[in-house]
Amino acid sequence: MEDNLFDVKWDSSSVKQISPLTLAFVGDAVYETFVRIYLVYKYRDMQVHNLHVKAVKFVKAHSQSEIIKKLETQLSEEEMYFFKRGRNAKSGTVPKNADVQEYRFATGFETLVGFLYLTGRLGRLNFLFRSIIMLESEGKF
């Protein structure tokens, strides 16, 4: 085990050994953390409940599905591979507020985020997160 788990970087072939739902598990946490940090940065004095309401807009399956549909033309072949692995994974559950297709696209999005994070592609993550902020500011999800 490494001394600093934040410094652990995986190569693509190692990440391919991880199930897409496990990558989505990581990606969900990374994306939620990004959203929370962004909202606190933008709305420093907002009450926590209101921050939570704004965060839900970003992280719900419908929004993630819309986001990835708008960003998929900007994905590399390797990024599309991981998105599709997550989208096609059978999770066995669907949240009550999302349909199956939205949930699968959201899972693909989270899988992609998990892949980028674990492989240390933080510049690419930053690019995607900035694109998401622009989409949100334009009311596109």
Q: What is the CATH number of the domain that holds 16?
A: 1.10.1520.10
The pTM for the full model equals 0.93
Residue 101 has pLDDT above 70, yes or no: yes
Q: How far lies 65's CA from each of 104, 115, 119, in Å?
A: 8, 17, 23
Determine the Cα–Cα distance for residues 34 and 39; give it in Å rounded to an integer: 9
Query: Domain of 126?
Result: 12-137
Inside any domain, residue 1? no
Q: Which of 3, 7, 28, 99 is catalytic?
A: 28
> 103-133 pLDDT, tens per residue?
999 999 999 999 999 999 999 999 999 999 9
Determine the Cα–Cα distance for residues 95 and 75; give it in Å rounded to an integer: 27
Residue 50 has pLDDT above 80, yes or no: yes
Counting the structural domains of the chain, the total is 1
- The answer to whether 28 is a known catalytic residue is yes
